[in-house]
Amino acid sequence: MLRTTAILTIATLATGAFADGHSETLRWARAGDSLTLDPHAQNEGPTHTLAHQIYEPLIIRDQTGAFEAALATEWAPSETDPNVWTFKLREGVTFSDGAAFTAEDVVFSFTRAKSENSAMKELLTSINEIRAVDDYTVEFVTDGPNPILPSNFTNLFMMDSGWAEANDVVDVQNMADGETTFAATNANGTGPYSVVSREPDVKTVLEANPDYWGVGEFPLGYGRIEYTPIQNAATRVAALLSGEVDFIQDVPVQDLGRVAETEGLVVKSAPQNRVIFLGMNMGADDLERDNVDGANPFADVNVRRAMNMAINRDAIRQVVMRGQSQPAGMIAPPFVNGWTAELDAVQDADIEAAKALLAEAGYADGFTVQMDCPNDRYVNDEAICQAVAGMLGQIGITINLNAQSKALHFPLIQNATTDLYMLGWGVPTYDSEYIFNFLVHTKDGERGSWNPTGFSDADVDAKIKSLASETDLDARNATIAEIWEVVQDQQLYLPLHHQVLNWGMTDAVGTEVSPEDDPKFKHFEAN
């Protein structure tokens, strides 16, 4: 098969070309849009991916997952105080409006990211104080030594304090309450690209920042990025096949062969640092969206275990995912400290044993409940939920499936207004503490912001908090193992699979797949 339209390249741009002369346009598509441009309002993959083109953290992960200096050039624990990390900032950096980047902006950004509305605050709970020593030195004072503090900074973006004050966006956008602010649709970052136009869920155009500090250090092969969310899988593939777009992050599994066999196109694949799973509201006295009066079936661990037994993960892998997934027994990817093959082992589906557990819990006749799923976030998300609904039906649990856009789905989780839901979780810190802080700790305003399950255990909470200051790594890993034992024993979640990434692109696009599914276009080459 031949592509019907040649790749569009722009020979010159009126503005925005990098100093080295690269001026090509990259037309990029994926299933869902960024939820906001406010860099601290959402902790969500596609939102961070767009932010990485515009804003920058102090340190970053490259396409291999290794640390790379960004707005900080050096970082290390203090030699005199184990509770202090010192970061040296890159000098001569400016925001896209020309304002200088200094330590004041770092203090402002971290203070903002620690605030109540921030979706990033769980990453910063160990920080007691952020100090500007001078214009290019910042100290982070922690509540006890924190050996992995830098790992928490790779998606923590720096804002211009003056711009935030001038535009009344010192406070983080309150996404859970549906708030819209100037920072939600406008940006002023230090990154390689600046926002030319932003139409949420329609199109976002970025142009190269000619004053970017990284000119000459990175390939910076594209002078313009045109980002178009295309939710429909067939339409998204058709756009790549016809030449309307050059790069899509989520090639549907059913179209992998078709894309790979098309002249001028390539598919690149890699395991993703992400697990897809289901969560249940086990803490409520009575569920809102079930047919059981005066009781909560999910409060009984035997019901949760029965549901786990009913899910045929290998069938999902073979039929729904066309082989493009790895069945999971825990909600940590293999990339993560704390993952073990033993914990991740997947039991075979056992319908009769699952029915027996349901009967033991008092639900021999089953029950009906609503399942909430996104339809534009994960690979085949709605189809996975449909398959799981059928499997649970085999043990008498009738599912009313509510599949909708992630913009509507995620607030259900964050506001704890869902009884049964799908979620996918990546771990940018590569450490179990990240999972525990967001998904296991009691939802208390500081931690547990993505834990609407109602699970709460004071002993587990204390162990999670201890991870931020335990410098004996053997002792720390032992605590991680103890927490995982509780998570697994209580069947806190129903793991489904580790996601596999499939990026489709023209053979003129030079990049490899990032395990974080976060292409950073400054690393891309235009061949």
Give 459: exposed, middle or buried? Use CB within 10 Å, 0-12, 13-18, 19+.
Answer: exposed
Whether 500 contacts 519, CB under 8 Å: no
Confidence of residue 22 (pLDDT cuts 50, 70, 90): low
Query: Token pair 């004996």 is at which residue?
Result: 472
Residues 91-99, mean pLDDT to the nearest whole number: 98
Q: How far apart are CA 179 and CA 121, in angstroms?
A: 18
Residue 65's pLDDT is 80
321: pLDDT strictly greater than 50? yes
Q: What is the pLDDT of residues 203-239, one digit of tens each?
A: 999 999 999 999 999 999 999 999 999 999 999 999 9
Q: How far apart are CA 365 and CA 419, in angstroms?
A: 20
Residue 62's pLDDT is 82
The pTM for the full model equals 0.91
15: pLDDT strictly greater than 60? no
Q: What is the CA radius of gyration of the chain?
A: 23
Domain ranges of the chain: 24-264+507-526, 271-500
Confidence of residue 23 (pLDDT cuts 50, 70, 90): low
Residues 412-437, mean pLDDT to the nearest whole number: 97
Residues 132-137, mean pLDDT to the nearest whole number: 98
Report the amino acid identity of residue 291: N
Report the amino acid identity of residue 342: E
14: pLDDT strictly greater than 70? no
Q: What is the pLDDT of residues 238-295, one digit of tens each?
A: 999 999 999 999 999 999 999 999 999 999 999 999 999 999 999 999 999 999 999 9
Confidence of residue 176 (pLDDT cuts 50, 70, 90): confident
Query: Token pair 């692109």 is at which residue?
Result: 505
Q: Indicate the average pLDDT of the chain.
A: 94
Residue 3's pLDDT is 35
Residue 64's pLDDT is 79
Q: What is the pLDDT of residues 323-344, one digit of tens each?
A: 999 999 999 999 999 999 999 9
CATH assignment, 271-500: 3.10.105.10
Residue 13's pLDDT is 33
Fold of 24-264+507-526: D-Maltodextrin-Binding Protein; domain 2 (3.40.190)
9: pLDDT strictly greater than 50? no
